[in-house]
């Protein structure tokens, strides 16, 4: 039986560092941070209203509030959350979960403010309209009348947006949202996951008939490779689906993705950007894939029905977090992000920088360890 670690010795120092740097960033940012260049945040254009990453910054502020108890951080989170609202009228992709689960539902859970719920319900309604009933999937990108290639596209990342729909069903009693989320997850399971437990970033379908066409990629190395952030989205997202539905196929999916990736991690447990890169070990890492994976593993550990596996998931999460804290944080530097060495997209030549979502999931994971009663 694996021995369970709960509160590693470095946890409080790591959280103190994260809250301190978040306060510093709050005092300098005028728009939403996305990635760093030369150690400084590049901010999204004001008319993007946070693009797909705005929820991560708001969520970080909510977590900093929960970690510190400082009401000025809750006020800042509320203020920044309001800047996401225009996305309820012009959003043309699936990222509403990232935006409104972290910006609003998390805020409601941590502050008790019920006024944060209606925008999240509205976001769930918009997301549910992206469901293609023939293919049983949620369209990832583009407007609902976009070209067939966009209307037929699914991505691993959408697994992270399903919890918004499960939450909406709980709130309203309308099971349609949860039905869409579970159907999309089953489609992802059937077509993105390969027999060896690896995943493709993208799948293409015929949007008229719903027929599966092929696996594909956008940010990974190739259609047949395994993009490390997509694999981490999957571990986390399938665990969410199991928590919401109790359906063991989702628990097994999350476990299978872990079984694939664990032996492929380097010694320090921080994934290279794609598990199939031929340049490994001389290639860039993606620290965001590591922090997403660590937080997803803590979530998986909390719902795992095999106690031995639960300890294994939790201990692995802690080992990843310790490696991030000791070797990938910006402590002792002037870099603005919490984590260094993320990779937004190597095929687009965007690598080795800080990423706001890497930072968010790092702090989420630390908070899951520090205060499990928050039920993040």
Q: Which residues make up the interface to ligand GLY (CB under 6 A)?
A: 52, 157, 219, 229
Cα-based distances in Å from 75 to 13, 26, 78, 80: 24, 12, 5, 9
- CB 72 within 8 Å of CB 137: no
CB of 11 to ligand GLY, least distance (A): 26
The angle, 0 to 180 degrees and rounded to 10, between the axes of the packed helices 162-172 and 176-191 is: 160
CA–CA dist 249, 172 (Å, integer): 26
Q: What is the residue-wise DSSP string for 220-239?
A: SS-TTS-BHHHHHHHHHHHH
CB of 292 to ligand GLY, least distance (A): 9
Given the residues 79, 113, 157, 247, select the one marked as catalytic: 157
Cis peptide before 281 (omega within 30 of 0): yes
CB of 21 to ligand GLY, least distance (A): 22
Given the residues 95, 204, 216, 359, select the one marked as catalytic: 95
Q: Which of 291, 276, 280, 185 is nearest to 229 (CA)?
A: 291
CA–CA dist 250, 238 (Å, integer): 5
Closer of 78 and 346 to ligand GLY (Cβ): 346
CB of 233 to ligand GLY, least distance (A): 7
CA–CA dist 293, 248 (Å, integer): 20
CB of 219 to ligand GLY, least distance (A): 6
In the residue annotation, 113 being an active-site residue is answered as no
In the residue annotation, 306 being an active-site residue is answered as no
CA–CA dist 253, 258 (Å, integer): 9
Q: Residue 16: which residues within 8 A CB-CB, separation 6 or more? A: none
SS3 146: coil
Report which residue's Cβ sits closest to ligand GLY: 157
CB of 70 to ligand GLY, least distance (A): 30
CB of 229 to ligand GLY, least distance (A): 5
In the DSSP assignment, the letter for residue 40 is E
In the DSSP assignment, the letter for residue 118 is H
CA–CA dist 97, 273 (Å, integer): 24
CA–CA dist 336, 326 (Å, integer): 17
CA–CA dist 211, 148 (Å, integer): 13
> Could you identify the residue written with the tokens 């070990």?
281
Active site residues: 95, 157
């Amino acid at each position: 039986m694996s021995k369970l670690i709960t509160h590693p010795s470095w946890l409080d120092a790591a959280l103190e560092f994260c809250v301190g740097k978040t306060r510093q960033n709050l005092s300098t940012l005028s728009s939403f941070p996305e990635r760093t260049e030369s150690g400084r945040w590049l901010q999204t254009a004001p008319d993007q209203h946070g693009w797909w990453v705005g929820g991560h910054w708001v969520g970080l502020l909510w977590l900093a509030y929960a970690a510190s108890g400082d009401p000025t951080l809750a006020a800042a989170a509320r203020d920044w959350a309001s800047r996401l609202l225009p996305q309820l009228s012009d959003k043309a992709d699936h990222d509403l979960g990232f935006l409104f689960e972290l910006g609003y539902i998390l805020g409601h859970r941590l502050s008790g403010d019920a006024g944060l719920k209606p925008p999240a319900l509205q976001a769930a309604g918009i997301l549910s309209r992206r469901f293609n009933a023939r293919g049983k999937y949620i369209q990832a990108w583009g407007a609902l009348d976009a070209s067939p290639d966009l209307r037929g596209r699914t991505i691993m990342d959408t697994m992270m947006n399903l919890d918004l729909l499960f939450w909406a069903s709980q709130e309203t009693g309308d099971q349609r949202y949860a039905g869409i989320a579970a159907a999309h997850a089953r489609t992802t399971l059937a077509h993105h996951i390969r027999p060896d437990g690896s995943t493709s970033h993208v799948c293409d379908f015929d949007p008229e008939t719903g027929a599966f066409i092929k696996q594909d990629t956008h940010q990974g190395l190739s259609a047949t490779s395994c993009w490390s952030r997509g694999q981490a989205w999957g571990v986390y997202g399938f665990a969410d689906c199991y928590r919401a539905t109790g359906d063991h196929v989702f628990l097994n999916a999350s476990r299978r993705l872990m079984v694939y990736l664990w032996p492929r991690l380097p010694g320090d447990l921080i994934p290279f950007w794609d598990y199939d890169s031929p340049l490994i070990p001389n290639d860039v890492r993606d620290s965001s894939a590591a922090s997403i994976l660590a937080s997803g593993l803590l979530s998986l550990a909390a719902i795992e029905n095999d106690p031995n596996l639960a300890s294994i998931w939790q201990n692995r999460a802690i080992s990843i977090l310790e490696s991030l804290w000791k070797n990938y944080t910006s402590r002792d530097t002037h870099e603005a992000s919490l984590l260094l060495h993320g990779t937004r997209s190597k095929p687009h030549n965007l690598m080795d920088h800080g990423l706001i979502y890497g930072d968010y999931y790092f702090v989420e994971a630390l908070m899951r360890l520090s205060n499990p009663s928050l039920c993040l």
